[in-house]
Amino acid sequence: MKNAQAFLEALDRKAKMLAPAARATFEANRELCSWLLDPLARWAEAAYGPEVFDAAARGYAEYCVGVAKAKAIYEREGRYTPERMPEIMSGVYHDEGYMIPYMWAAILIYPFWPSMVSHIAMFRDEFVRRLPKNARVLELACGHGVLSLLAAEDRPDLEIEGSDISPPAIAVANRLLAVSGHADRVRFEVSDALKVDTNGDGRYHGVISAMLAEHLPNPTPLFSTMAQRVTSDGLVFFSTALESPQRDHVFEYNQESRPLQMAEAAGLRASRMASDASAIPPGSKFLPRATAMILRAR
C-alpha cells in the first residue's frame, strides 16, 4: 500500500529541483506530514491509480513555477495584479485542466512548504481533536476535500459538510471520498461560500475556512458567515496567505493583524495564531507567509 514516500519519489522523478526542499520539510516534520500524506496516498491511488503520484508532482511543480513568476511581478509592481474575477472563474475554478493539478498542489504545499506545516499541527491538535463528541463540521472552500477527509479519518464520530465554488475541485473531493470509507459521514457539494444561507439555523461545532479569504474580492462577509455558523462553544479553523501573489489571489493581506481585525469585527476572537514565512531571496520587499488561527465566538 502506498504512503507518503510515493509523493516524495514522484517529486524526485517529475519535480527534481523542488524535491530536496520538500523532502527536508517532510523529514523535519515526519510524524505530522505523514498524518496527512499516508492516508492521502492510499485514497489517491485507490481513486486514480498509480499514475496519480507523477500527476500530483507535475501539478506541484507547475504551481510552484506560477508562484515564482507571480512573486517576481509583485516585487516589480508593488501590489497584487490578479486576473479579473470572470477570468478567474472561467480560467481557474471552472477549468478542469487547470484545477485538478492545482488541487494536488494545494494539498501538497501543507507538508512540503515550511510556511504551511504549522497549519497541519494546528488543524489536527487544536481543531479536529478538540471538537466535542459527535460534532457537526462545515468546511467552506474545501477544494480537494482532504482536510475534511483527514478530520473524518482522525475522528470517527464527526459529520462533515464541505463545499467549494469549483465543480472540478468537488469532483476530486468526491472521488477521494468514495474510496476513503467515510462516505456515510462526509458530503461535498458545489456552492459559493458567500452564498451560504446565513439566516438558516444550521450551526456547526466546527467551521473550516482554509486558504479561502485571499481568493475573495472582499473577505469581510466570510467572517460574518463563520461567526453566524459556529455554535457558541464551537471552533473555527481559519487560514490565509499574506504577501503571496497568485493568479487567483485577489485580496492582499500584508499584516497578520488585518484578518484578525476582520474576525474580531465579526464577533470572533482568536485563541491561537501561527504565522510562518517561506524562504525568499535576500533583498525582497515582500515576505510571503501564511497565517492560521483558531477562532471562537465571543
Closest to ligand SAM by CB, 10 or 169: 169
Contact yes or no for 180/153 (Cβ under 8 A): yes
Instruction: Check: CB of residue 96 under 8 Å from CB of residue 168.
Output: yes
C-alpha 124/C-alpha 117 separation (Å) is 11
Site string for ligand SAM, 84-113 (x = CB under 6 A): ---------x------------xx------
Q: If binding is defined by CB under 6 A, does position 6 make contact with ligand SAM?
A: no
Nearest distance in Å: CB 24, ligand SAM: 21
Residue number with the shortest CB distance to ligand SAM?
Answer: 143
Minimal distance, residue 133 CB to ligand SAM, in Å: 25
**Rounded to the nearest 10 degrees, how much is the dihedral formed by the CA atoms of 8, 12, 18, 24?**
50
> C-alpha grid cell for residue 254?
500584508
The strands making up 204-210's β-sheet, listed across from edge to edge, are 186-190, 159-164, 136-140, 204-210, 230-242, 289-297, 268-277
* Region 139-168 residues binding ligand SAM, contact defined as CB under 6 A: 141-143, 147, 164-166
Q: How far is the CB of 192 from ligand SAM (least distance, A)?
A: 4
CB 244 within 8 A of CB 289: yes
Considering only the stretches 120-128, 152-160, 212-220, 250-258, report the one whose residues sit in contact with ligand SAM under the rule CB under 6 A.
212-220
Q: Annotate 239-254 with DSSP letters as a single string.
A: EEEES---TT--S---
The answer to whether the CB of 40 falls within 8 A of the CB of 8 is no
Per-residue x/- track, 169-208, ligand SAM (CB under 6 A): x----------------------xxx--------------
Contacts with ligand SAM in 214-253 (CB under 6 A)? 215-216
Applying CB under 6 A, the residues found at the interface with ligand SAM are 93, 106-107, 141-143, 147, 164-166, 169, 192-194, 210-212, 215-216
